[in-house]
Structure 1
């Protein structure tokens, strides 16, 4: 975070400390110190799975030796392990890229709302399976966190300046506004008439595959597809909010066949080739002028883009 004076720095530190206390507050802070005195940390092992779209994190806890019965000791170890797993999960979430310019952690400094939203979503993180009781007496717990909970953070339009990296200009032949293409009003020259690909020519598409292999694209919660001038062709601004929450802006895959068989776009997906990466963190993709015009036409004539049926192929 850039230094902006003592007041701003203290405010940022306060928000960060508050967020780090969220997991502890989840599990009854009044008694937590008595039940979970001894805690062992395990390195974060978060996994994002393309099929189930969830993160998993593990934690290890040891029983409190001051407790009398085995049941109490086991319970204290499970509670301690759960706290560690959720804390590791929080640390992982903080490093997730939201846009090319913003991570969850930096978003905390920009927006108080993210702290409140994370409190609610972390409370819903669930344990996977039963606790594993290890030979040394410690207990291992794995918790899961669904992508839909993170996507819910994007329910408001552009909450972290998602379009701040895109080009903003005045009106142009496509009627774009603030760097986002908008349809022309009735009676104007509709771009649909000039596009090389239309619904009739290309059929009805079930989704879009953006082949960005070889460009070192990094996954993000709210990436964008841009034209060569930096204008947004596809992104959070052009999708339905309900789909944003349920499945995110895009999906990611490494294999073309697995992408085509993904239920998100399965059927007759359109494939376009990205020409370069864009943004500070290389989360956005740039497509050719022809492809951007094709997508603009299809956005008006078909629904798959508004429904977020987009998968990006990465290395």
Structure 2
């Protein structure tokens, strides 16, 4: 009996270690921006931050000291979380901080969500101080508050992937000063033999110094939009985000957002000062526009972008 218990315990430990390894391996595929006070996971859309609180010297009891340290740590963590969120790019031109400066109602809404941010962990230090971790999602209610109501979104029955009325700026070149020839670095995946629809779009943007944003855009080489808010349903954009971000092509292709038979394209350049908009070849853009009317993976934001 003792042997069987030992074997069961050993098996449980092995299973736990395997699960932890799998979770760590999967997490490593996410694109995470680490900053001094926290991190932004651009695959999950979750922003986290930590804060430290110390007990006041005039505490009358250990319970009071600990409670006040937790409260101070939570305030510090949410202050750091606000700092993190302010630095997030909404699109190529606007950060959350820009949006808050431009509109007082955005300030009120962001602060409201901040006060309701989730306490993820509380750690008690040997010196009596407390570290609190808090987090909140950029998607859902916060995204709805940050993306202006007048932003054009796709409406079922409307036209998807229509060219921009005014061509955008000339795309920035790659590091070697040129735009690669059409389709030479990332031909679209061939359609399956049974003509099954594509399950998503996978964009390889490695090697370009591209950065993530809540509302990224795909452009062709003339600056006309191929994918943006006008291509997606607002509901999907708010709840799921315009795109997920990863740092491994194979794992991104297996992500539930696009898994099955994703269409693969190679970004050839970045556009804009924030480097969040991606340029694909005119040939790939034409093929994507041709596919769009018959398939809804863009409307449903089934897009993964792989960055360095």
- For this structure pair, what is the TM-score category when the shorter chain's length is used for normalisation? 0.7 to 0.9
Structure 1 segments unaligned to the other structure (5+ residues): 1-42, 163-173, 181-196
Structure 2 segments unaligned to the other structure (5+ residues): 1-34, 154-160, 168-189
Question: Who is 2:296 aligned against?
Answer: 303
Per the TM alignment, residue 145 of structure 1 is displaced from its structure 2 partner at its CA by 1.2
1:147 aligns with 2:138: yes
- What is the RMSD computed on CA atoms of the aligned residues? 2.7
Per the TM alignment, residue 245 of structure 1 is displaced from its structure 2 partner at its CA by 1.5
Q: Please say if residues 157 and 237 of structure 1, whose CA atoms lie closer than 8 Å, have aligned partners that are also in contact.
A: no
Q: Please say if residues 158 and 237 of structure 1, whose CA atoms lie closer than 8 Å, have aligned partners that are also in contact.
A: no
Question: Who is 2:64 aligned against?
Answer: 72
Q: Please say if residues 44 and 89 of structure 1, whose CA atoms lie closer than 8 Å, have aligned partners that are also in contact.
A: no
CA distance in 1, matches of 2:288, 2:104: 35
Distance change in 2, residues 1:90/1:145 (3 Å): same
Which of residues 255, 264, 286 is equivalent to 1:262?
255
- SS of the equivalent of 1:48 reads strand
Q: TM-score, normalised by structure 1?
A: 0.71
Per the TM alignment, residue 119 of structure 1 is displaced from its structure 2 partner at its CA by 2.0
Distance change in 2, residues 1:283/1:52 (3 Å): closer
Per the TM alignment, residue 268 of structure 1 is displaced from its structure 2 partner at its CA by 0.6
Q: TM-score, normalised by structure 2?
A: 0.73
Aligned positions of 1:182-201 closer than 5 A? none
Distance change in 2, residues 1:307/1:225 (3 Å): same
Aligned residues: 245
Question: Who is 2:74 aligned against?
Answer: 82
CA distance in 2, matches of 1:236, 1:200: 31
Question: Who is 1:22 aligned against?
Answer: none
CA distance in 2, matches of 1:284, 1:72: 51
Work out which structure has the larger RCO, using CA pairs closer than 8 Å and 6 or more positions apart in sequence.
2
Per the TM alignment, residue 232 of structure 1 is displaced from its structure 2 partner at its CA by 1.3
1:178 aligns with 2:165: yes
Q: Please say if residues 50 and 251 of structure 1, whose CA atoms lie closer than 8 Å, have aligned partners that are also in contact.
A: yes
Question: Who is 1:227 aligned against?
Answer: 220
CA distance in 1, matches of 2:230, 2:49: 31
CA distance in 1, matches of 2:263, 2:127: 54
